[in-house]
Amino acid sequence: MLSSFSLAEKIIWNQSHKTLRKTTVQLIADRRSLDRVFIRPDDENSKKTLVKYMEQILFGLHDFLNRHVGVTEEISITELAKKYMDVEISEHPQKNLGQVIEDIIQDIAPKAVNVASPYFIGHMTSALPFFMVHLKAITAALNQNLIKMETSKVLAVIERQVLAKIHRLIFKQSPEFYKAHVQNTRTALGAFTSGGTTANITAMWVARNHLFPPKDDFSTIEEDGLFKAMSVHGTDRVVILVSRRGHYSLKKAGGILGLGNKNIISMDVKPDHTIDIDKLKQRVQDLKRQGRTKIAAIVGIAGATETGTIDPLQEMADICEQEQIHFHVDAAWGGPVLLSRTYAHLLSGIERADSVTIDGHKQFYMPMGTGMVYFKNALALDAIAYHAKYVNRKGSVDLGIKTLEGSREAACLILDAALKIMGAKGYALMIDHGIETARAFAQKIEARPLFELMTRPVLNILTYRLVPVSIRKKLETATGEERRQLSQELDEINIRLQRIQREAGKSFVSRTRIKLTPEDDFTVVVLRSVIMNPYTTEIILDDILDEQEQIYKRF
């Protein structure tokens, strides 16, 4: 019955027990069965089977996730791991598509994380609009490779257009600018990446490469390497400045680019977790005075991963302009807020950046694995251009010569379609809902005596912790070592609370560590909540707080 995808099926009848019993379905890989895997089946029955499978994926899976509104089944990773120990690749087919789908719905999905649950408010992953599944299926069906015009053609043109649309949303350049660059194959307004991490790495890569001009027999960092660049230019150290709220991909960038992640300098933040501008100014002057040190970039954050904080981008842009330092804004999280008429102003100053990171799989609600990096200067990406004889000939018009990644899928098609289906306003509805619900959540937390709001939401992220009344009272007057000890007590409570709630599987908030005040030399554990699911209502938020109170009372 499911023969269309089984490769081939033979039912072996075991007659040894005198009864006709179906003991096993043997799947065979042969040319005929291979044909069925590649070519769509001609008969209506097989076609129906394929559609039925897709229906199972669309509704079976979705119904399951909706029914189990909780986050995951209560089973430990250790228990799970025991079932996945076999490391042999079977010589013969083991399952057909129907069985695979059934397994996924029945066995995998319940033990995966239901990120679509409105009770999942712990990470930057959420429900996707339904149409995203269709769009992803289309990109798989077309299987274009955007590395090259020869494997993408119109998609390469669409990619340029979408990049220009988002570039304009960020940098607001003139109509002439976009007319000159949108389809200019010699320039690039940005690039699609596999995520915010490689977007940030790409931006820092470009910034690094612009640091040292040719001198003597030194040509470029890209060609001659960092050691020669620094030797010839009498530099000992290349640094990048970012607040302590910076994403760890910036440290990773420092490591991979050869700068050393110690040289990604974590700047102090103010009590509201934005970068301390005075200290930043001071540090830039100190570094300049030291000599033999170059600042590759200053990074502003537009939506800190832990707290949602937005740095004072205008003031940072002033410093960068004055000191001629590359200004990068990591808007992986906050970028799409530019689509909201109500809240776009929060990102004021982003238009003055040299480069900007935005994630597709965060607040553009695209499927996992889509980042973007944008450059104000349409020639900036030339600093990392690569050519391959068989793929990108010199003078090539392919965008793939200017990306960290090589082969990549047509993520542009998904974003292009999503912008058309949602409109800026559709996205704004979700952005606004997240911000406003987070504010309401903050009020709830403040209204409950057992909780303490730790960071107020600027966007749709906040942190808080559970503080028993007895400890709260002691904390009011505690100083020094006593204060630290009380904090540790609270840390243990909140770690335990988060773990029990996560393992129970009904709802999920994450946890992290932040400093209570900039002056502290220790961090404290906080619960972290990200509101990006339009179905996360205030009632649900009350449920989550109720559950936490109950868990604590059962301690």
Residues 328-387 interacting with its own copies (rule: CB under 8 A): 339, 359, 361, 367-369, 384, 386-387
Q: Which residues of 495-524 are buried (b: 16+ CB within 10 A; e: fewer)?
A: eebbeebbeebbbbbbbeebbeeeeeeeeb
Nearer to its own copies, 266 or 314 (CB): 266
Neighbours of 126 (CB within 10 A): 24
Is residue 9 close enough to count as binding its own copies by CB under 8 A? Answer: no
3-state secondary structure 352-364: HCCEEEEECCCCC
C-alpha 537, offset from chain centre: 23
Nearer to its own copies, 12 or 368 (CB): 368
Nearer to its own copies, 474 or 506 (CB): 506
With CB under 8 A as the contact rule, the residue among 11, 85, 469, 539 that binds its own copies is: 85
Near its own copies in 122-141, by CB under 8 A: 122-123, 125-141
Q: How far is the CB of 263 from its own copies (least distance, A)?
A: 6
**Total site size for its own copies, rule CB under 8 A:** 185
Strand partners for 452: 465
Near its own copies in 186-205, by CB under 8 A: 194-198, 201, 205
Name the segment binding its own copies (CB under 8 A); options: 10-18, 182-190, 467-475, 546-554. Answer: 182-190
Q: How far is the CB of 84 from its own copies (least distance, A)?
A: 4
Is residue 555 close enough to count as binding its own copies by CB under 8 A? Answer: no
Q: Which residues of 185-196 are buried (b: 16+ CB within 10 A; e: fewer)?
A: eebbbbbbbbbb
Q: What is the DSSP string of 60-92?
A: IHHHHHHH--SS--S--HHHHHHTS---PPPSS
With CB under 8 A as the contact rule, the residue among 188, 451, 511, 536 that binds its own copies is: 511
By the 8 A CB rule, do 306 and 528 touch?
Answer: yes
Nearer to its own copies, 306 or 547 (CB): 306
Give the three-class secondary structure for 148.
coil
Near its own copies in 24-43, by CB under 8 A: 27, 29-31, 33-35, 37-40
Q: How far is the CB of 269 from its own copies (least distance, A)?
A: 14
Q: How far is the CB of 237 from its own copies (least distance, A)?
A: 8
Neighbours of 333 (CB within 10 A): 27
Nearer to its own copies, 390 or 555 (CB): 390
Q: How far is the CB of 284 from its own copies (least distance, A)?
A: 20
Near its own copies in 202-221, by CB under 8 A: 205, 221
Strand partners for 293: 237
Q: What is the DSSP string of 277-299?
A: HHHHHHHHHHHHHH-SEEEEEEE
Q: How far is the CB of 148 from its own copies (least distance, A)?
A: 7
**What is the number of residues in the chain?**
555
Which residues make Cβ contacts (< 8 Å) with residue 14, sequence separation at least 6?
Answer: 20, 21, 22, 23
Distance CA 424, CA 415 (A): 12
Neighbours of 409 (CB within 10 A): 21
Name the segment binding its own copies (CB under 8 A); options: 179-187, 295-303, 321-329, 540-548. Answer: 179-187
Near its own copies in 238-267, by CB under 8 A: 238, 247-249, 251-252, 254-263
